[in-house]
Every structure is written in structure tokens, then in C-alpha cells.
Amino acid sequence: MNRLQWPGSTTAQAALMASNWVLFLWVGAAVAVIVWGLILFAVLRWRRPRSVGADVPLPPQFRRNNVLEIGWTLAPLAIVMILFIYTYRAEAGVEALVPNPDLTVDVNGYRWGWTFAYRGGPTVQGTFTNPPQLVLPRDETVRIVLTSSDVNHAFWVPAFLFKRDAIPGHPSAFDVRPERLGTYEGHCAEFCGYAHALMGFSVKVVPPAQYARWRGGGSL
């Protein structure tokens, strides 16, 4: 159940997604409680007791109520409008690309491994038997440019609350700004064949100085 709380502090983008999730969770819970409650109430309140036979008089045969029906069309409409406005703003923040990222990494997915090519820096490669690690500096905006050299894959770091498809011939870019030190698991999230389940990687977020040392050829 603790997974209902999304880790919003791992990246700047995750904070936006986590607060959007909380809103949907509460609205969803409220709708569930109200509608489940109405169904159960109606079923229990107006069940026909076993003691009465089939000869009880008919219940009232009403079949419409225009005011109610217009009301329960407009109310959900209002709710989804509000949800959309909120979600639109969260999404714009998550997908915004800064003009000058601090660091750009070209990520390539292939059957079955990943290549992380730091522009102007090292290239890390690893297959599913020896998963690669993506080292990122904390508090710097990282541009990931994602593609694939064979079939569709998807780059997913659950702790960052984000994934993006790696589609051959259709590169796409997103920014991520890590804010918490740590090592996070990543998976391929798009089925890509028999070793799909094993096509993992990890992301290690380190202080900028440590990152610079690693990039210069030092150890972590």
C-alpha cells in the first residue's frame, strides 16, 4: 500500500507527477466511495425480503428525471475539466525541454541492452547479462535523447515516475533533473522479445563533483 505514495523527491519532474497523482488518487477515491456507496445502499435498502412472495405490489415505475440526468452529466464534466487543467499544467512541466541542458546523453536500446553515450564524454554499454549504469549528477538538467537500433523498447526508471519509448527511426528527447542521491533500478518497459524481462539498467545519482571525476575517467 505504501506504493500509493509516489516518491516525488527524486527528480524535479517527479515532484510534478507525484502531486498530479495525489489529486487523481483523492478524486478517484471519492468517486469510488460515493458510487459504490450508492449501489450498495440501493441494493440493501430496497431488496425484497425473502418472506414476501412474488405477489408484492410493483415498486414505483418512474423512468426519467430530466433535472437529475442533466445534473449527473454536468457534474462529471466539471470534474474532468478541472482534472484536465491540472494535468495539462503538470504535463507541460514534465515535458518541457530547457534551451541549454547541462548534459546530454544519447540512449540507445537494442536487443537486449543499452548504450549510454555522453555527448563529449564516455560511452557506457551493457547487456542484460551485465546491465549498464547511467551515472547522473544531482541538481543538473540532463537531456536524454532516446532511440533504438532494432525494435521498440522503453526506458523506464520507476523511481523517477517516468518512461519514454525508444522507437527505431523516431528519436525523442526528454529532460530529467535528479534531486536525490541514490541508485535506482531501470527496466525496458516495451516487450521486445525473449530477454525483455532481463533488459535492466541502473541509474546512479551522485554529487556533481563526483560525477565530474567519473567523467574524467576516475572511479565512482
Residues 6+ apart with CB under 8 A from 6: 14, 17, 18, 21, 22, 161
In the beta sheet, which residues pair with residue 201?
186
Q: How far is the CB of 119 from another protein (least distance, A)?
A: 19
Q: How far is the CB of 44 from another protein (least distance, A)?
A: 9
Closer CB to another protein, residue 185 or residue 212? 185
Closer CB to another protein, residue 38 or residue 212? 38
SS3 category, 130: coil
140 by Cβ neighbours in 10 Å (0-12 / 13-18 / 19+) ranks as middle
Binding status of residue 1 toward another protein by CB under 8 A = yes
Q: How far is the CB of 68 from another protein (least distance, A)?
A: 7
Contacts to another protein from residues 100-139, by CB under 8 A: 111
Closer CB to another protein, residue 73 or residue 219? 73
Contact predicate 142/123, CB 8 Å:
no
Binding status of residue 175 toward another protein by CB under 8 A = no
Among 9, 26, 31, 220, contact with another protein (rule: CB under 8 A): 31
Neighbour order of strands in the sheet with 113-118? 123-127, 113-118, 103-110, 142-148, 172-176
Among 110, 114, 116, 174, contact with another protein (rule: CB under 8 A): 174
What is the per-residue burial (b if ≥16 Cβ within 10 Å, else e) of 152-189? ebbbbbbbbbbbbbbbeeeeebbbbbbbeeeebebbbb
Total residues in contact with another protein, by rule CB under 8 A? 81
Binding status of residue 35 toward another protein by CB under 8 A = yes
Grid cell for residue 27: 478524486
Closer CB to another protein, residue 12 or residue 195? 195
CA dihedral in degrees (155, 157, 158, 163; nearest 10)? Answer: -30
Among 99, 169, 216, 217, contact with another protein (rule: CB under 8 A): 169
Among 8, 11, 17, 141, contact with another protein (rule: CB under 8 A): 17
Contacts to another protein from residues 41-80, by CB under 8 A: 42-43, 46-48, 54, 56, 58-65, 68-69, 72-73, 76-77, 80
